[in-house]
Amino acid sequence: MSEIRVSIYEKEDGTYQVSFINPLDQKRKRHTFKTKEEADRYRNEIIIQHSKGALLPSGKRYIGHLLQTHLQRKPSSRVTERKNIFEAFCRAFNHFEVEHLSKDALDHWLSQLQTENGYTDRNMSRIKSQLNHFMSWLVDEEILSNNPLDRIRFKIGAPKRARVILSKYEVKALLDQLKAHSPKVLFPYVFTIVHTGARRGEVQKLKWEDVDFETAFIHFRKTKNGEDRRVRMSRILHELLESHPRTSEHVFVDEEGKPLHRAKIQRGIARFKKEYPDQKDWKCHDLRHSFAYNFLKRGGEMYQLKALLGHKTIQMTVDLYGNLKAGDIENPSPYENW
């Protein structure tokens, strides 16, 4: 294997330029860095890549290796923004040679991801934006001639549905009606969403091993942002779950004892609304918004709400609920004192 010559030059403005001829295309590459240390690191990285065959015309360049290089050079890249999406992308494409990363391969994977998770086109547009940071870098580095994501489109459609907020009195009335309508299935499921502010899928997946009655914690696993979180149960939620029948490893099951799934929940809520039409047109996620609204209204703090809701960043919490004020987390349920 021939050696690769990588040179470092100090420029007049005090920055350092790394220069070398890429054996893949025989073109000179130049990259400028603010410090000599950064330039040295990059020079060593190029030499190591060449020694491993990554810069040889016959060398195979895999997505997994290129992702590592991308994150070393761009540690603030948004490609890791949603951990679960990043991990899913790695599982699907780490073993791909970069030349095989086609529009069709990405389109198929994104379609499968959308179907399996019930993501909207708006969700998918955000996911595409996240991955685009890596794809654009591949083009900038002349590893790819064009960005395969550029030809994939998602219809954003009509503006987002307006958020529906229920006051604590409306929430109490809703739960009373649900208890009369579906005391064993819908009521305990919705009650848990109401008193934790959790996402519907997080509650749906709960198993008894995730509920610790000794410490009064619920453990939500593999959440939307890819991280687990624990939420303390309020007194009344603790009492409800402790008395809830344990007929399965899953906490919430249907009339046949099978784990609740999304379609079953949606049909059940539709029947409930038909029986009790005189109410706001809420969806399960509106109960999460209502939790946040009532929590902050009674004095909860924004950082506490971020922890309870499992947001990735405080900015997300502020963007959603920043118009409301803050307080105390001693008892996270805003509905405790009915």
* Residue range 248-260, pLDDT digits in tens: 999 999 998 899 8
Predicted pLDDT at 109:
93
Q: How far apart are CA 16 and CA 39, in angstroms?
A: 6
Q: How far apart are CA 314 and CA 301, in angstroms?
A: 11
Q: Given a cut of 80, is residue 145 above it in pLDDT?
A: yes
Which residue, 64, 59, 103, 245, is CA-closest to 253?
A: 245
Query: Which of 1-10, 178-187, 309-318 bottoms out in mean pLDDT, i.e. has the lowest?
Result: 1-10
Mean pLDDT over the full length of the chain? 86
Q: Label residue 327 by pLDDT band (50, 70, 90).
A: very low
Mean pLDDT within 80-109: 89
Token reading at 91: 């599982």
* Residue range 258-292, pLDDT digits in tens: 998 888 899 999 999 999 998 899 999 999 999 99
Q: Which residues of 217-234 are buried (b: 16+ CB within 10 A; e: fewer)?
A: ebebeebbbeeebebbbb
Q: Where are the domains of the chain?
A: 1-59, 60-156, 168-321
pTM to 2 decimal places = 0.54
Higher pLDDT, 332 or 13: 13
The CATH code for residues 168-321 is: 1.10.443.10
Higher pLDDT, 160 or 322: 322
Predicted pLDDT at 271:
94
**Terminal C-alpha separation, the chain:** 76
Q: Label residue 326 by pLDDT band (50, 70, 90).
A: very low
Which residue, 53, 63, 60, 49, is CA-closest to 18?
A: 49
Predicted pLDDT at 59:
56
* Residue range 162-208, pLDDT digits in tens: 788 999 999 999 999 999 999 999 999 999 999 999 999 899 999 99
Those residues whose C-beta lies under 8 Å from the C-beta of residue 159, and which sit 6 or more positions away, are none
Predicted pLDDT at 324:
59
Mean pLDDT within 98-122: 88
Angle at 216 between CA 212 and CA 219, to 5 degrees: 55
- Top CATH class, 60-156: mainly alpha
Predicted pLDDT at 1:
43
Q: Label residue 24 by pLDDT band (50, 70, 90).
A: low
Predicted pLDDT at 274:
93
Q: Given a cut of 60, is residue 58 above it in pLDDT?
A: no
